[in-house]
Amino acid sequence: MSQNAKILDALVKEIETAQADARLDFEARLARLIEDMEANGEIVPATAKGLHEELVNEKIEAQFDNLPV
């Protein structure tokens, strides 16, 4: 297991156990790590990509929650 894969595994576990309002803070770190792994030719697990997509969607929804009606 590569160093990036170990970091990814730890980061995913941290995100999964984080409070709902704190999860969005991890999106940029996860995105960077996924990009780095792909640039190095490493395989990124589908679960990590799915989690990133989920965080992006949550971030978008959070922006709309703050819009006045």
Per-residue pLDDT at 66 exceeds 70: no
pTM of the model: 0.86
Closest CA relative to residue 10, chosen from 39, 48, 50: 48
Task: Print burial letters for 38-47: b (CB count within 10 Å at least 16), e (below 16).
Answer: eeeeeebeee
**pLDDT tens-place string over residues 40-65:** 999 999 999 999 999 999 988 888 87
Helix, strand, coil percent content, the chain, rounded in steps of 5: 75, 0, 25
**pLDDT tens-place string over residues 2-33:** 899 999 999 999 999 999 889 999 999 999 99
